[in-house]
Every structure is written in structure tokens, then in C-alpha cells.
């Protein structure tokens, strides 16, 4: 080895640049919404901006509350199933999970003014909706022929002398995965090239286990006004909360003994985040004639305050190039942990919709939603960090996304049959790795309704794609290493049942 090997279990005082682990992944995670609501809402894929008349719809358009004429209470438990498939360098895996949660609960009450024109009804509504499910369990397992996570740490350490290193670069240096290049004080190589002294030889077994969990919810209180059954106006206030656990382990094993001294290493990245935020909502629905409704809803950016507690560890197994003599094996270990607070401002949401009633037979509805993810921002780090570099990256790589929701409902006496389709556009700009990271959803539902009681059921199928990077490519014109993306496909199924009462 180039340096004397010690058993290390340490934490260090870090410069602020090493503390800013937050990036566009965090901004995107907390900005993307997949609203769950009543079974009627879900069965029609959420196409309710113009249709209204459903307590879940006030999250899209608070004017939806204005269409109610009585008091209504709803509750919606749901069961979800998630299948995740990975494909990396010809190696793949499949993993599944299921769970149960509360998808929606709400109440709306309408008061008649007794007038036949002007303000005829005034409604107040409350709705709780699940807005995202952060659960993700996936395994990436295969052979790397052209790069290692240690190479990224070596690149990340550049321009810093050894005494200035912090974060993951410090951990890699202290466990002998990286060291300075010959004749350099602030340029680094990884153990795969014996720190720049030989050409790197890869072929190591790589395994990453991703095990994330959490959710985001929104509580909305809205006031809706009915103006002569022609115009409906609404305003609302949203209180959001989230809980997220991000966890993965990344292991590399040199089974073929291609690399001097290295047997294996395992890196663990774990953090818990909790946050709360708020937003405002405005909306209107216009009925130019009896069977047609046109609606628009606007939700301001949500301002989240996030608190994180994180932990990193890096354990390495070294044989000092004598595999046959385990007596001189060494196991350096580096660990870091801390807490951090910051703010995320998510994008605004602009919804426009149209709905058409086909006599007493049914209704069709369509929504268009615009979300500019490039306007999301990180700010107010607890150590004074301003995230200017991260926000520049976010603006450059993330852009506007168009989302589409279509829904239909047919009535046959007390029975209702529903279906829908949804499309969520990519949050990334053209030319970036995830420009095709879209989601497609389908839905079907059935309902039984009486004057004072109803029960609805719905099934939603949502398929998503993402190119997942285990570590970044070397961005230099003549890269020392490469990182191939993992094709990550997610298939979700949501089964929801709503019980509703009218008074």
C-alpha cells in the first residue's frame, strides 16, 4: 500500500462544501405528485378539474367544493402493490411489495343562501389525500467492466489536499480506496488502478440494495361558492407533510482477484427526512350550458422545511496482495453521521379541464396539468449554505412537464362504471439521461349509489420508467471510467374502496 494501513472508525469536522448532500434528487422526489383520492376520483384517473363534485377534487381545484348541495363524508382505505424490475449490464432482478394505508378522508358541507341568483350556495370542505408513496425496494446485481464507485470518489476529491478532504472522499481516502496520484498533491486515483500506477482492471461483482420508504400527504381546507349554478369559485389552503427514509448499500467484490490488495468494500448510505409545508389554491369552474363544464385550478409552490438525520459507513477488506495468507488481512472502517435542515420550494401546478355530461347516461372528462420542475429550489441550509451550484444543475436539467388525465363514467340505475387514463411527462429536459422517464396509468372502477349512502371501488395500474445511476460518469473528455445506467421499471397497482354518507 502507498500508506500505512490502520483500523479506522472515526468522524471528522467537515467543511460546509462536504455537508451539502442535498441535490436535485431531493427536489424532484418531493415535487412529484401522484394524487390518490376517493375510489371515484381514482377510477376516473383524477380527471376532476372541471368535473368537481368530489371532495378529493379540491386538491386540484378548490372550486370543486362549490358544486355540493349537502353535507358529505368519505373515507378511502387502499391496498397497494409494487413490483420493481432492474436491468443492468445484462443482469436483472424482480422484487415485489404490498401494503395498506389511508388514501383519503374528507368532509364537505354546503349552506344554501335561499337565493336563486348571485351567491346561491356556500360550501366549506376538508380533504386529506395521499400524494406520493416513496417505497422502493430493488436489487442491482451484476459485473462491472469499466468503472467503480471508488473512481467517482477519487474524481470527487480532486483539487483538495488530503488534509482538506471531507464527506465520502474523506471516507474513501481513510479506507485506502483512493490516494493521491504520483507527483500530485490534489489529484487522486482509486485502488483499481493502484492509485494511478497501473491501468485499471475491473470485472468486480457489484451489488446495490435500495430500500427506501415513506410517503407524502396533503390536508386541504377550501371554501367554494356557487353563483347561480353557472360559475363556481374556490380558494383553499394546503398543509403538506412528508416522511422519507433513503437507504442503500453498495458492495463491490473482487472475486477474480484482479485488483491489488482489494477483496471487497461495502458502502452504506442512510438518512431519515421529515418535513412540513404549505401552499395556496385558487380555482374556478364555469358552466356555459347545462352539460358542459370548464375548469381551471392553480396551486402555488409548496414551501417545505426539511429536517434530516443521516449516517454513512464504508468498510473495506484488504488482503495486502497475499490472498493465501489471511493473517495480514486488514479491515479499515470509516463512519460519519450528522443532522441537517434546509428548505425546498416545489413547483407550481396549473390545471385546466373540460367535462361533458351525456344526458343521464354518464360523463366524460379531460385534464391537462403543467408543472415546471425547473422552478424548484433548495435554500436555507442550516449551516448557511445557499445551494447555488445545486440550483444551477436543477435549472439546467429539469424542465416543464405536461400531465394528462382522462376519465369517463357510465350510469345504469344505481350502478356506476368508470375508467380512465393518465400520463405523467418527464421532469427532465430533452437531451438528459431521463428525458424519457414518463409514467402511464390506467384505471377502472365500479360504484353503487343511493340517496344517502354510496360505496365505490377502483383499481389503478401505474407503470413508470427511470434510468438510475449508481454513481456519475467521469465527465472529462477522456474519462478514466464509465458508469452504465440501471434500467429501473416500476409497476404499481392500487385498490381503493370508498364509503360515503350524505346528510
**Nearest-5° angle of CA 226, CA 350, CA 352?**
55
Q: Could you report the per-residue pLDDT of 146-173, keeping only the tens digit for each? A: 999 999 999 999 999 999 999 999 999 9
Partnered with residue 285 across adjacent β-strands are 232, 295
- Going by pLDDT thresholds of 50, 70 and 90, the confidence category of residue 139 is very high
Distance CA 73, CA 431 (A): 47
Percent of the chain with pLDDT over 90: 81
Q: Report how far apart, in Å, the C-alpha atoms of 353 and of each of 183, 368, 423 are.
A: 65, 6, 15
H/E element holding 341? Answer: strand 333-345
How many helical (H) and strand (E) elements, i.e. helices and strands, does the chain have? 6, 20
Helix (H, G, I), strand (E, B) or coil at 483: coil
Q: What is the pLDDT of residue 477?
A: 82
Asked if residue 280 lies in contact with residue 141, where contact means CB atoms within 8 angstroms, the answer is: no
What is the Cα 311 distance to its own chain's centre? 21
Distances in whole angstroms, Cα of residue 310 to Cα of each of 207, 269, 406: 22, 8, 41
φ, ψ of residue 102 to 5 degrees: the values are -90, 115
- pLDDT > 60? residue 291: yes
For residue 321, what pLDDT is reported? Answer: 64
d(CA 294, CA 286): 5
As a whole number of angstroms, the distance between CA 25 and CA 457 comes to 34
Does the pLDDT at position 11 exceed 70? Answer: no
Specify the pLDDT at position 455: 97
Q: 15 falls in which pLDDT band (50, 70, 90)?
A: very low
Mean pLDDT, residues 250-262 taken together: 92
Least reliable range by pLDDT among 9-18, 111-120, 267-276: 9-18
Residue 18: pLDDT over 90: no
pLDDT bucket at 10, cuts 50 / 70 / 90: very low
Cα–Cα distance for residue pair 387/20, rounded to 1 Å: 8
From residue 207, alpha-carbon distances to 18, 213, 254 in Å are: 26, 20, 12
What the chain holds in terms of domains, given with CATH numbers, is 16-502 (2.40.160.60)
Mean pLDDT, residues 43-50: 97
What is the reported pLDDT for 118? 87
Question: What pLDDT score was predicted for residue 311?
Answer: 96
Cα–Cα distance between 345 and 305 in angstroms, integer? 9
* Whole-number Å distance between alpha carbons of 92 and 432: 24
pLDDT of residue 476: 84
Q: Are strands 439-449 and 377-379 parallel, antiparallel or unpaired?
A: unpaired
pLDDT confidence of residue 4? 37
Average pLDDT, the chain: 91
Whether the pLDDT of residue 327 is over 70: the answer is no
Task: Output 15 or 260, whichever has higher pLDDT.
Answer: 260
Q: How far apart are CA 190 and CA 471, in angstroms?
A: 14
Question: Is 497 exposed, middle or buried (CB count within 10 Å of its CB: 0-12, 13-18, 19+)?
Answer: middle
Cell of 259: 485488483
pLDDT tens, residue by residue, 176-226 = 999 999 999 999 999 999 999 999 989 999 999 999 999 999 999 999 999
DSSP reduced 3-state for 12: coil
Average pLDDT over residues 282-305: 96
Q: For the chain, report the end-to-end CA distance as a whole number of angstroms.
A: 78
pLDDT value at residue 222: 97
- Nearest CA to 337 out of 313, 371, 307, 305 is that of 313
pLDDT in tens, 397-447: 999 999 999 999 999 999 999 999 999 999 999 999 999 999 999 999 999
Percent of the chain with pLDDT over 70: 94
Q: How confident is the model at residue 13 (pLDDT cuts 50, 70, 90)?
A: very low
Kindly report which listed range (92-96, 188-192, 236-240) carries the lowest average pLDDT score: 92-96
Amino acid at each position: 500500500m502507498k500508506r500505512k494501513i490502520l483500523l479506522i472508525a472515526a468522524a471528522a469536522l467537515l467543511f460546509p462544501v462536504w455537508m451539502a448532500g442535498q441535490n436535485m434528487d431531493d427536489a424532484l422526489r418531493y415535487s412529484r405528485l401522484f394524487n390518490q383520492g376517493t375510489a371515484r376520483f381514482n377510477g376516473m384517473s383524477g380527471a376532476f378539474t372541471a368535473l368537481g363534485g368530489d371532495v378529493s377534487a379540491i386538491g386540484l381545484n378548490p372550486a370543486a367544493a362549490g358544486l355540493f348541495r349537502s353535507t358529505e363524508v368519505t373515507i378511502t382505505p387502499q391496498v397497494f402493490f409494487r413490483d420493481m424490475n432492474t436491468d443492468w449490464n445484462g443482469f436483472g432482478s424482480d422484487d415485489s411489495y404490498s401494503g395498506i394505508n389511508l388514501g383519503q378522508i374528507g368532509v364537505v358541507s354546503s349552506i344554501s343562501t335561499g337565493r336563486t341568483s348571485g351567491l346561491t350556495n356556500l360550501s366549506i370542505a376538508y380533504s386529506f389525500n395521499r400524494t406520493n408513496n416513496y417505497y422502493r425496494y430493488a436489487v442491482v446485481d451484476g459485473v462491472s467492466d469499466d468503472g467503480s464507485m471508488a473512481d467517482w470518489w477519487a474524481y470527487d476529491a480532486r483539487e483538495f489536499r488530503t488534509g482538506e478532504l471531507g464527506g465520502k472522499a474523506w471516507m474513501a481516502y481513510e479506507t485506502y480506496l483512493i490516494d493521491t496520484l504520483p507527483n500530485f498533491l490534489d489529484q487522486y486515483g482509486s485502488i483499481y488502478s493502484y492509485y494511478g500506477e497501473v491501468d485499471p482492471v475491473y470485472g468486480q461483482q457489484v451489488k446495490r440494495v435500495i430500500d427506501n420508504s415513506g410517503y407524502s400527504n396533503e390536508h386541504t381546507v377550501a371554501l367554494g361558492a356557487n353563483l347561480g349554478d353557472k360559475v363556481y369559485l374556490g380558494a383553499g389552503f394546503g398543509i403538506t407533510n412528508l416522511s422519507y427514509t433513503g437507504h442503500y448499500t453498495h458492495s463491490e467484490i473482487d472475486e477474480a482477484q484482479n485488483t491489488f490488495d482489494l477483496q471487497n468494500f461495502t458502502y452504506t448510505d442512510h438518512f431519515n427526512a421529515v418535513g412540513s409545508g404549505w401552499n395556496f389554491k385558487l380555482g374556478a369552474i364555469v358552466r356555459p350550458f347545462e352539460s358542459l363544464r370548464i375548469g381551471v385550478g392553480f396551486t402555488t409552490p409548496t414551501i417545505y422545511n426539511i429536517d434530516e438525520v443521516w449516517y454513512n459507513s464504508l468498510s473495506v477488506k484488504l488482503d495486502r496482495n497475499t490472498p493465501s495468507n489471511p493473517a495480514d488481512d486488514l479491515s479499515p472502517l470509516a463512519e460519519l453521521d450528522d443532522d441537517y435542515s434546509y428548505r425546498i420550494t416545489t413547483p407550481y401546478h396549473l390545471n385546466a379541464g373540460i367535462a361533458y355530461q351525456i344526458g343521464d347516461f354518464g360523463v366524460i372528462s379531460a385534464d391537462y396539468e403543467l408543472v415546471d420542475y425547473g422552478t424548484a429550489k433548495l435554500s436555507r441550509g442550516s449551516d448557511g449554505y445557499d445551494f447555488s451550484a445545486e440550483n444551477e444543475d436543477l435549472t439546467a436539467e429539469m424542465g416543464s412537464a405536461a400531465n394528462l388525465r382522462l376519465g369517463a363514467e357510465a350510469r345504469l340505475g344505481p350502478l356506476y362504471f368508470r375508467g380512465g387514463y393518465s400520463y405523467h411527462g418527464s421532469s427532465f429536459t430533452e437531451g438528459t439521461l431521463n428525458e424519457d422517464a414518463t409514467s402511464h396509468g390506467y384505471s377502472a372502477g365500479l360504484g353503487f349509489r343511493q340517496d344517502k349512502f354510496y360505496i365505490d371501488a377502483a383499481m389503478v395500474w401505474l407503470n413508470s420508467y427511470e434510468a438510475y445511476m449508481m454513481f456519475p460518469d467521469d465527465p472529462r473528455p477522456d474519462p478514466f471510467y464509465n458508469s452504465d445506467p440501471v434500467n429501473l421499471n416500476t409497476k404499481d397497482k392500487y385498490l381503493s374502496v370508498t364509503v360515503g354518507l350524505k346528510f
